[in-house]
Amino acid sequence: MTAILEAQSISMTIGGATLVDAIDLHIKAGEMVAIVGPNGAGKSTLLRMLSGDLRPTRGQIKLKQRDMHAYPPRLLAHHRAMLSQHVNVTFPFTVEEIVHMGAGDAGRATAQRLVDAALGEVDLAHFSHRQLPTLSGGEQQRAHFARVLVQLACGEEQHGPGLLLLDEPTSSLDMRHQIDLVETARRRAQNGTAVIAVLHDLNLAMRFADRIVLLHRGKLAVDGGRAEAITAETIRRIFEVDVTIDYTDQGVPFLLPQTMRPAGPPTA
Amino acid sequence: MTALTDAGAKRRSGYALRPPASLTLICLLAALAGAALVALTMGAAGIPMARLPAALGLWADASASPTLARDQLVLWSIRIPRIAAAAMVGALLAASGAIMQGLFRNPLADPALVGVSSGGALAAAAAIVITDSPIGQSLHFMQNQLLPIAAFAGSLVTTIALYSIASRSGRTSIAIFLLAGIAIAAIANAGIGLLVFIADDRQLRDITFWMLGSLSGATWPKLAALAPVLGLALIACVWIARGLDVLVLGEAEAFHSGVDVERLKRISIVLVSAMTGVAVSVCGVVGFVGIVVPHLLRLAIGPAHRLLLPASMLLGAVLLVGADTLARTIVAPAEMPIGVLTAAIGAPFFLGMLLRQRGLVSL
């Protein structure tokens, strides 16, 4: 598989503090990668650098063999789409109008087809004429995910599979829609899209990704398959929590923190 | 009946009904034509509807009767340029308000409210005093061209200052923005006060005109300054509409969606300043048009800028033609400054918006 994204020793220093320190990442087409780590490890900063939003103070990022910052914004949007964690919309746009924003310069018929498909995928077709600010946080997050899916699909029609970046995409979603989102992302990966998500929940990360990138104090601590990346020893060292790791029937690891005192018997 | 109740219930529960764009524009154009027609007939010298076609010189010979000659003179050298100026100024102010609100992602932004108009008025007043003084005497012949340029420059400096104060790394604080606007307006007004202090009687009258806002000085040469800016604004509005829509997501998100955010911001700032500046140079500070018109339209047709900007131009024109007709008839034969009128209507409206959107303004 070809490399979609190559980050070569990228660093970000702001006001003397190094938030991200010399990280190398190579992401191939069709890979699903989860970026995890404790608070302040530099996950969101790394993701913003990989999106082209922040320019690394050192190092270089190549998207499809071309310097990321050499792309004009419109062309860059054809090759990578990004879902931010908090998007606050002040004007009463409808869900459909918001999702349409992902279509950019696509023709009217193409745009409408992609918008309808994306609204169906995030289970919001019945809300398409609702004003976005009147929806719940989770519903808004799904609407923005649909917008990003439209952008990704538009780019794919012209330039082939690209890069999908997700910053805490499941933070306000209920369990069913978390699963839907992961499944939707996986379908994109099967078509060749490289998917990178910052995730908080390690269990979800192990469900989501083939490959886990664990950050600690701005440095790359571990980069590998979920079984090698997430061990009780690594979790203790980096998160300072004791965990037991068990496996589902399909061999997917899951973990339970042990440091926390379990709840006592219910008092009657 | 059931359809109507359904529609009402849907709107209350957050469903949006969007009338077709063509219908919206046709209705607004009809309203503008109606307002202009009424404005033509009313004034110090009343011209009844029956005499209007003849007075417009469509098929009558002026030498035939003295009444007709007087009507034609009133219409062509006073009333028509004034109505045209009112329409163009209204269009510019309403659309520049809508662009500014899109740029700051804030429905409470208005060029007059946050000092952009005052900045333009200060520069225009300075231009009056300088071109009238012995040093600037050589420039006096081009005062007509100099005023719009000075007002544009003043508005531009104010908008840039406002933007750099209120924005930090792509996020705009609405509270800081409004407070900075108050401070900037105060600085500009202090400057105007100083100019009033050093001005002689004739300059004083000109400067007072800027502070209150009036269309009584509208003449054909002034229309020549308004028309090209309005034409440019129309073209630019089509060009920046999608960018302003996407900007509502935030600057980083707009960039992720493929918008060249820096270029969009530069174009918007120059556009808002040019539109406000040239409007101020013709009729002084007329406030609240830029906040009332886009707000009403967002409720009726939605916030998408491709339709909102041209519709704002039309409704702004209707509103100002109406307000100006009122201003010159309500206390006839005297004339009320139109800025006083729009503030009397617009300020309570703004307070109402503020009360409904308290959550938006948080320190």
Question: Does B171 touch chain A if contact means CB atoms closer than 8 Å?
Answer: no
Contact A92, B16 (CB under 8 A): yes
Partner-chain contact A77 B13, CB within 8 Å: no
Classified as helix, coil or strand, B322 is: helix
Q: Are strands A243-247 and A253-257 parallel, antiparallel or unpaired?
A: antiparallel
Confidence class for position B32, pLDDT limits 50, 70, 90: very high
Conformational region of residue B124, where left means phi above 0, alpha means psi within -120 to 50, and beta covers everything else: alpha
pLDDT in tens, A177-213: 998 999 999 999 999 999 999 998 888 888 888 899 9
pLDDT in tens, B150-184: 889 999 999 889 888 887 766 667 678 888 888 99
pLDDT > 70 in chain B, percent? 87
Distances (CA, A) of B279 to B110, B218, B266: 14, 11, 20
Confidence class for position B1, pLDDT limits 50, 70, 90: very low
Whole-angstrom Cα distance, residue A217 to residue B345? 57
Contacts 24+ apart (CB under 8 A), A223-232: A223/A25, A226/A252, A226/A253, A227/A253, A230/A202, A230/A206, A230/A255
Contacts of B13 in chain A (CB under 8 A): 130, 134
Contact B213, A56 (CB under 8 A): no
**A126: closest CA of chain B, how far (Å):** 11
Confidence class for position B7, pLDDT limits 50, 70, 90: very low
Whole-angstrom Cα distance, residue B279 to residue B306? 22
Q: Are strands B171-172 and A253-257 parallel, antiparallel or unpaired?
A: unpaired
**A163: closest CA of chain B, how far (Å):** 12
The predicted structure's pLDDT at residue B94: 96
Query: What residue in B sits closest to A147 (Cα-Cα)?
Result: B257
Whole-angstrom Cα distance, residue A15 to residue A7? 23
Residue B3 above 50 pLDDT?
no
Query: What residue in B sits closest to A97 (Cα-Cα)?
Result: B304
Question: B21-35+80-355 has which fold?
Answer: ABC transporter involved in vitamin B12 uptake, BtuC (1.10.3470)
Chain B segment 261-280 residues within 8 A of A by beta carbon are: 261
- Tell which residue, A190, A173, A162, A182, has the closest CA to residue A121: A182
> Choosing among B248, B309, B312, B353, which should be mutated to test the A contact, i.e. which has the most A CBs within 10 A?
B248
Confidence class for position B8, pLDDT limits 50, 70, 90: very low
Which range (A174-183, B289-298, B353-362) has the least confidence? Answer: B353-362
Residues A130, A133, A134, A135: is their CA dihedral positive or negative? positive
The domains located in chain A, with CATH, are 3-234 (3.40.50.300)
Domain spans in chain B, listed from the N-terminal domain onward: 21-35+80-355
The predicted structure's pLDDT at residue B48: 79
Residue B351 above 90 pLDDT?
no
For residue B330, give the DSSP letter: T
**B171: closest CA of chain A, how far (Å):** 11
Residue B362 above 60 pLDDT?
no
- Which spans in chain B are helix H? 2-12, 21-41, 52-55, 66-73, 80-104, 116-132, 143-166, 174-198, 201-212, 220-247, 251-256, 261-283, 289-301, 305-329, 338-356
Contacts of A87 in chain B (CB under 8 A): 249-250, 253
Residues in chain A: 268
pLDDT in tens, B214-254: 788 788 888 888 999 999 999 999 899 999 999 999 889 99
The predicted structure's pLDDT at residue B287: 85
Question: Does B331 touch chain A if contact means CB atoms closer than 8 Å?
Answer: no
Minimal Cβ distance to A76: which of B248, B249, B258: B258
Q: What is the pTM of this model?
A: 0.88
Please report the ipTM that was assigned to this predicted complex: 0.91
Q: In B230-261, which positions are buried (b, 16+ CB within 10 angstroms) versus exposed (e)?
A: beebeebbeebbbbbbbbbbbbbbbbbbbbeb
The predicted structure's pLDDT at residue B319: 95
Partner-chain contact B105 A77, CB within 8 Å: no
Contacts of A167 in chain B (CB under 8 A): none
**B163: closest CA of chain A, how far (Å):** 18
> Choosing among A44, A91, A130, which should be mutated to test the B contact, i.e. which has the most B CBs within 10 A?
A91
The predicted structure's pLDDT at residue A37: 92
Mean pLDDT computed over every residue of chain B: 84
- Residues (pLDDT < 70) of chain A are 1, 259-268
Question: Does B169 touch chain A if contact means CB atoms closer than 8 Å?
Answer: no
Contacts of A53 in chain B (CB under 8 A): 252, 255-256
Average pLDDT (B5-23) is 66
| Amino acid residing at B1 | M
